[in-house]
Structure 1
Amino acid sequence: MSATNDVPEKAEAKASFDEVHQADEQDEMLQRYDLLKDLTGDQRKAINKSLVRKLDWRFLPCITMMLLMNYLDRINVSNARLAGMQKDLHMTDTQWSAGISMFYVGYIISQLPANVMLAKGNPRILLPCFMLGWSVVTLAMVLCTSSVGFILCRFFVGVMEGPFVPAVSLMTSSWYTKSESPMRMSIWHAGNIISNVISGLLAAGILTRMKNVAGLTSWQWFILIEGIVSVVVGVVSFWFIPKWPHNTGEYMFTAEESQMAQYRQLVNAGGVTEDDEGGAWDGTIMACKDPFTWLFTCLHFFVIIAQSFKDFFPSIMDTFGFDETGTYLLQAPPYIFAYMACLAVSWTSSRFRDHCWHIAGVMIVSLVGTVILIATLEQGPRYFSLFLLCAGPFIALNLHLSWETAVVQRPRVKRAALIAITNASSSVTHWFTPYFFLTNQAPRYQTGGGVIMVGCGVTVLSCLALRWWVARKNKQLEERQRETGEYNSWRFVN
């Protein structure tokens, strides 16, 4: 939370407060929790530390692994294309792009109803079931013999994968505070980035060595192994996913830790609980009426346009002239750099309580990388440009998710609807961006590069618009405070 210079010194101290175990001034909120109210600050600090440790070592690694498999599926299809999947299924470029697009049709239509349902339901059951669903359909792709089968499988994989990222964003914002979320989101967002590294390494090991083993093509083995691992992760995850802070129970947290989880979020949201909400669709209506929803939708939409190279990254690498193994292996370093940069920038975002300038900065860097990529055919500069290109959109997406969940805290159903609306709307880009990276435009892919540059530029403008709206809303809060004399610690974050 942030405060401006117009707020009195005492109020500023409250507004900047985030260490809930030291919240001696939050007695009114603390009185709601009988297991915490009579404890000392040090005792609450110990409970808070234990709670965060359990989240960091159980929940966070589990969702990181689940998301890694989620994103790995999308990248693996691109590598399978290089290994002959498109040729073996007798598909044209247009049919292949249609399959990629149909994934996002299913992905989009499932997000809003599933995330609203999950906000009122049991994520401990629903998240693993989503994962098992897409894993089974992925395994079915091994049996595809035509473009029709490929397109249908990609559609149903999209239906099952669609709710996952919005659901994990929602859960992260329900368990971690505003200052904790950016770094934690960057950690589980590793599933998005590191999947690109792992996919390249797996491609080098499987696609080049398992051709015609047991009568299967190398791309069939590639998808089969991925699907089996995904099933295993989905089954194991039933033991590591909590419900919500108010109803998880003692299978994962003690009674004191459960109350601390609720208290942390109460302080984090300025005294409004996640239970202060109406029916499932009331939150959707609230989200649709909130200008923040559409500002964040615009931001997310153009970040994903700037990230449109991701599904075609193996094809871009193929234009560098390396041998097959080198093409797969050299996909990894740009994504490793992107992940390290994501951790660093997320830390500074938390430290300085800023999202706007961090997102704008990394997107300008990505724009520069795109210009280099399409302006020269020199191998060295082009490979360097991939490091810049990869870093920007992945970092921006991570900070965007943190920003929207920090700004729109309560009720949970409204937050769930906002996350799903922004994510689903941005996924519409996948219906048309695949057509900008056709093989006849290699090696420059200048149309695709131009689209990425537009995405970077409009993302920066969207950040500035959001910063202006946040300042306007905070000014309204301060004016209301001066008129009524009632202090409210809530401030929208930039």
Structure 2
Amino acid sequence: MDVERITSDTKSDTKVAHVEDEAWVDPQAERRLLWKMDMHLVPILWVMWTFSNLDRSNIGNAYAGGMKESLNMSSTDYSVALLVFFIGYVVFEIPSNMILVHLRPSIYLPAIMFWWGGVAIALAACKNTPALAGVRVILGLAESGFAPGVLYLLSTWYKKKELARRYTLFWLGTPVSGMVGGILAGAIIERMDGISGLHGWQWLFVIEGIATCVIAVAAVFILPDYPTTTRWLSEEEKELIVRRLSTENLNTTGEHLGHMESLRLAFQDWRTYLFLFLYAMATGAMTITYFIPTLVKGLGYSGSQTQYMTAPIYAVGIVIVLIVCFTSDWLGERGFYVVAAGLIGATCFAVIMGVTNKVVQYVFLCFGLASIFSSVPTLLVWASNEVSHPREKRAIVQAAMNVAGNLASIYGAFLWPAADAPRYFTGWGCTLAFVFTMSVVAFTSRMLFKKHPYPTA
């Protein structure tokens, strides 16, 4: 079937031609449209995700900043508080994405953000470890739908080769929250301790939770829905988006599959299980982020200096993730980057286990954590590229990956007991095994995907 081919010269003259089986668009119009999409989608999603990570991971800063003593917590108590978050997270991830397919993202995503912001504030009121664990369960439930929901939303706007850059820029909120969170925690815990009868670590939860609620309200007025239902797009721009995505079988409105049919398609596909395993390895390794303040403290730092010295670790991660983000889009490659990240990470963690020089350990911790940071968003985009349609199936695969990853985080929370200090061989050894296994399986998966490409219809 012929489609209209539009070309434009520097004098803005328009020529119309007919090209068989090709949806060709004006490159200048496409660039303008992409910029417009980016400005409406990426910044607000990035801010929302940054606060999501602040509210789930500031428990590590609070633990190192006085909560341990206030609540008389043991290292096991802390691990349990981490674990129960992921139980709540796992329960609601897939149902949340199944609900999102039929609702407006501009309402649904800010609503769950406001929910978790309120729950984050409630953490400051916890007087004992059972209360802390109970509130963390609810926090996990509230946050569970956000990450898979965002990936699903972005995949309804962008082509495959464009998705990695946007999603990775969004996912940069993870290391940014770690870097900024450490600086904020150091300032809040040190300067606000005792104000209004609250400890510094309690103020940390209150301030960051209130900020989350404010951002959620603003997001209702900023975040768009789907391309075909967005008011700030002209009819020509909507048509252009549909034409762009139709060449890759990415539907902007949905195929209207039922829940059970979507589940069946997702879990009958062998690709799903490879991505579930890969993501479980990556996120199992990433549970180290909850122990960064503790590990840094073990390197000889103390007080607010412990919080501040976490920032450079995350700063290195930001730089590496940006490099991976842009080069993987430019090359149109995902699997190779996951393989390389796993091998680099395994090398870094092996060095940390083998040396006692604290400066060397700190440097290799920076690059080891960066390798994990770069692999997580790359895996999610890789899955979205490989399992590109139908829309409901893609949404379930993305949510299922997050479920598998958070299940891995459950046992990952127990890999760094205080009894293993200061060398933490169990934690380093398991993290090394996670990333090396991820690298091997990613290499195998890449070969299989080339041999058995995903059906185009």
In 1, the alpha carbon distance for the partners of 2:282 and 2:350 equals 17
Q: Could you tell me which residue of structure 1 aligns to residue 160 of structure 2? A: 178
Report the equivalent of 2:238: 258
Instruction: Establish whether residue 458 from structure 1 lines up as the match of residue 441 from structure 2.
Output: no
Deviations 1:246-294 (A, max 9, x none): 222x2x2222222222222111328x66533422332121101111110
Is the 8 Å Cα contact of residues 29 and 266 (structure 1) preserved in structure 2?
Answer: no
1:191 matched to 2:173: yes
Indicate the SS of the match to 1:120.
Answer: coil
State the TM-score, normalizing by the size of structure 1. 0.86
Partner in structure 1 of residue 283 of structure 2: 304
Aligned position for 2:6? none
1:79 equivalenced with 2:61 (yes/no): yes
Q: One-letter code of the match for 1:258?
A: K
How much has 1:468 moved relative to structure 2? 2.2
Which is further off, 256-265 or 154-163? 256-265
TM-aligned CA distance change 1:240 to 1:375, over 3 Å:
same
1:26 Cα deviation from its structure 2 partner? 6.3
Higher mean alpha-carbon deviation, 322-331 vs 457-466, is at 322-331
Is 2:380 aligned against 1:401?
yes
Q: Is 2:156–2:252's contact at 8 Å kept on the other side of the alignment? A: no
CA contact (8 A) 1:319 1:442 kept: yes
Change (3 A) 1:169 1:25: farther
C-alpha deviation, 1:46, in angstroms: 4.3
Contact 2:341 2:439 in 1 (8 A): no
CA distance in 2, matches of 1:48, 1:463: 33
Aligned to 1:97: 79
Report the Cα distance in structure 1 between the residues aligned to 2:327 and 2:160, rounded to whole angstroms: 13
**Number of equivalenced pairs:** 444
C-alpha distance after superposition, 1:168-201 (max 9, x if no partner): 1111111111121111111101111101001110
Please point out which of 349, 352, 362 is paired with 1:373: 352
Counterpart residue number, 1:10: none
Do the aligned partners of residues 302 and 22 (structure 1) sit closer, same or farther apart at CA in structure 2, a change above 3 Å counting?
farther
2: CA distance, partners of 1:390 / 1:364: 12
Task: Give the Cα–Cα distance (whole angstroms) in 2 for the partners of residues 294 and 25 of structure 1.
Answer: 42
Q: Which runs of 5+ in 2 are unaligned?
A: 1-13
3-state SS of paired residue (2:226): coil
Instruction: Report the 3-state secondary structure (helix = DSSP H, G, I; strand = E; otherwise coil) of the residue aligned with 1:436.
Output: coil
* CA separation of 1:318 and 1:254: change in aligned 2, threshold 3 A: same
Aligned CA distance change for structure 1 residues 440 and 58 (closer, same or farther; 3 Å): same
**What is the DSSP-based 3-state SS (H/G/I as helix, E as strand, rest coil) of the residue aligned with 1:328?**
helix
Shift of 1:149: 1.2
Counterparts of 1:464 and 1:471, CA distance in 2: 11
1:128-153 CA distances to partner (integer Å, 9 max, x unpaired)? 00100100111111111111210111
Corresponding residue number in structure 2 for 1:12: none
Judge which range, 368-377 or 406-415, deviates more.
Answer: 368-377
Instruction: Quote the residue 2:140 is aligned against.
Output: 158
Aligned CA distance change for structure 1 residues 26 and 181 (closer, same or farther; 3 Å): farther
Match of 1:11 in 2: none
The match for 2:204 is 222
The one-letter amino acid of 1:387's match is C
Do 2:228 and 2:252's aligned partners in 1 also have CA atoms closer than 8 Å? no
1:344-369 C-alpha deviation (Å, 9 max, x unpaired): 11222112221111111122111111
Pairing 1:261-340 to 2, within 5 Å after superposition: 261-269=241-249, 275-340=254-319
1:384 is aligned to 363
Segment drifting more, 46-55 vs 163-172: 46-55
CA contact (8 A) 1:74 1:311 kept: no
The change in CA–CA distance for 1:26 and 1:131 in structure 2 (over 3 A counts) is: farther
Match of 2:94 in 1: 112
The answer to whether structure 1 residue 471 and structure 2 residue 453 are counterparts is: no
1:341 has 2:323 as partner: no
Residues 368 and 388 of structure 1 are in contact (CA less than 8 Å); yes or no, is this contact kept in structure 2?
Answer: no
Asked whether 1:441 is paired with 2:420, we answer yes
SS of the equivalent of 2:127 reads coil
Long gaps (5+) in structure 1: 1-20, 31-39, 478-489
Whole-angstrom distance in 2 between the partners of 1:140 and 1:22: 62
Tell me how far 1:299 sits from its aligned partner: 0.6
Q: Deviations over 1:324-349 (max 9, x none)?
A: 23211111112111111111112221
- Change in Cα spacing, 1:437 to 1:24, as seen in structure 2 (3 Å) is farther
The answer on whether the counterparts of 1:114 and 1:163 sit within 8 Å (CA) in structure 2 is yes
Measure, in 2, the Cα distance between the counterparts of 1:199 and 1:374. Answer: 27
Is 1:206 the equivalent of 2:185?
no
Q: Does 1:240 align with 2:219?
A: no
Amino acid at match of 1:222: L
Question: How far is the alpha carbon of 1:41 from its aligned partner?
Answer: 4.8
Residue 23 and residue 355 in structure 1: after superposition, are their counterparts in 2 closer, same or farther (change >3 A)? farther
Correspondence for 1:134: 116
What does the per-residue CA deviation read over 1:65-119, in whole Å, with 9 as the maximum and x for residues that have no partner?
0000001112211000011213212333222211111100010010000001102
Q: TM-score, normalised by structure 2?
A: 0.93
Report SS of the residue matched to 2:414: helix
| C-alpha distance 23-88 of structure 1, shift in aligned 2 (>3 A) | farther
Measured after TM superposition, the shift of residue 227 of structure 1 is: 0.4
| Backbone CA RMSD of aligned residues | 2.1
Distance in 2, Cα, partners of 1:404 & 1:438: 33
Provide the C-alpha distance between the structure 2 equivalents of 1:465 and 1:25, rounded to a whole number of angstroms.
42
The alignment status of 1:431 with 2:431, answered yes or no, reads: no
2:156 touches 2:227 (CA, 8 Å); kept in 1? yes
